[in-house]
Amino acid sequence: MGRQRTYDVAVIGAGAFGGWTAWHLAKRGQRVALMEAYGPAHSRASSGGETRIIRMGYGADELYTRWAKQSLAQWKEFFEATKNPLFLETGVLWMADRDDARLQDTKQTLGRCGVRFEELDRKALERRYPQIGLEEIQCGILEPNSGVLLARRAVAAVAEDAIRLGAEYRCAQVLQPAASGRVHEVKTSGGEKISAGDFVFACGPWLGKVFPDVLEPRIFPSRQEVFFFGIPAGDTRFAAPALPTWLFQEDLVYGMPDIERRGLKIAFDEHGERVDPDTQSRIVSSAMTEMVRKYVTRRFPALKDAPIVETRVCQYENSSNGDFLIDRHPEMENVWFVGGGSGHGFKHGPAVGAYVTGQLLDGAAVEARFTLATKDTSQKRAVY
Ligand SMILES: Cc1cc2nc3c(=O)[nH]c(=O)nc-3n(C[C@H](O)[C@H](O)[C@H](O)COP(=O)(O)OP(=O)(O)OC[C@H]3O[C@@H](n4cnc5c(N)ncnc54)[C@H](O)[C@@H]3O)c2cc1C
């Protein structure tokens, strides 16, 4: 109790965003404290799932396409260097109606950003993916070099490597600093004091709990349920390469092939009810179970009677429109918020960490879309 340590930067939260921020800062020689209440990518964290999609397509939104491309290169480089094969190039297949404007926009953006993709018409989709129920689907795009990150383990590997680079990790819950102007130290719930030059709060869905006055109205944690359907014995149609990672754009439903023998993963991307990440029930609801089974019956008819072999309940940490929040506290000049991953942030961890590092060390250009000023107190989703 009462011990005091001094760092250049204290990063609070060791999820995808905080972990990569600590990594980049440590790589630049900063003395970093990485503080985490429950452990990197624990079961309740937004980064705590087994798998996350890394795709380049974002409609007309070039910012996130560029960041996804930059991040994929960095994830791969990191996995290569640390001998952790945690990226699976399953390919990512977008499916849509013929006139879908967003798919057309995605093609243009991928083309402009130099991302490889294949266009598939209905006939090609039927031929390649006979296991998919294509009702209403007329066209698709396959990103052959995108895929899946083994999320939980990837975050643990990033935290471990940040420590190897010199960051000091501790399991501790950090309390909201009570100050204005320059903050010199933060306190933990265990009574420890940590002094640093800058404090980066990368607390995901907890940001509103740590800063209730500023962020409780601006970060919307939503309940998201995930299901895994067991594959019939001896059936190889639901594993890559036969089945890539897939997204039915208009239905807001996505999933993955059978990865590490967990079954076909499927989830609805629509935002669920507002939840508390500490206490929300992690048991799936019967209403969602029924909806998901109906959907599987329609899109993957061979799995209509398949058992649900695993489930997970997580939460998105939405900003008002889906853009990230990376900015300073309005009254504490050296306190930063990093979050608002909004159900699509995981893949961008490397780019987020590099951006935060640029803000702290280089006075790099500010992306207006990430500022606190652009974060509304009511939700109007614009990023998918
Ligand atoms: C079901 C689901 C599916 C998703 N699918 C995808 C996908 O396919 N692709 C994709 O790119 N993204 C996806 N996302 C989004 C992505 O997972 C998140 O945007 C990303 O993981 C957010 O990371 P984070 O570091 O901001 O938050 P978290 O991972 O939640 O990390 C925040 C950390 O801060 C810690 N913390 C909080 N308060 C304190 C405190 N006071 N003191 C110390 N520590 C504290 C927490 O314990 C936690 O570990 C999905 C999310 C969910 C829930």
Q: What is the pLDDT of residues 138-157, one digit of tens each?
A: 999 999 999 999 999 999 99
The reply to whether ligand 1 has any atom less than 6 angstroms from the CB of 339 is yes
| C-alpha torsion sign, points 70, 76, 81, 84 | positive
User: What ligand 1 atom has the least distance to the C-alpha of 205?
Assistant: 30
Residue 180 has pLDDT above 90, yes or no: no
- Cis amide prior to 241 (ω within 30 degrees): yes
Order the strands of the 253-256 sheet from edge to edge: 118-121, 139-143, 92-96, 245-248, 253-256, 264-268, 220-229, 308-318
Residue 5 has pLDDT above 80, yes or no: no
For atom 4 of ligand 1, the residue with the nearest CA is: 343
Give the count of beta carbons closer than 10 Å to the beta carbon of residue 211. 20
User: What ligand 1 atom has the least distance to the C-alpha of 339?
Assistant: 26
* Ligand 1 centre distance from Cα of residue 203 (Å): 8
Q: What is the pLDDT of residues 252-306, one digit of tens each?
A: 999 999 999 999 999 999 999 999 999 999 999 999 999 999 999 999 999 999 9
The reply to whether ligand 1 has any atom less than 6 angstroms from the CB of 322 is no
Q: Which of 43, 90, 203 to mutate to test the pocket of ligand 1 (most atoms within 8 A of CB)?
A: 203
Q: Which of 47, 64, 223, 278 to mutate to test the pocket of ligand 1 (most atoms within 8 A of CB)?
A: 47
For atom 35 of ligand 1, the residue with the nearest CA is: 13
Q: What is the pLDDT of residues 327-355, one digit of tens each?
A: 999 999 999 999 999 999 999 999 999 99
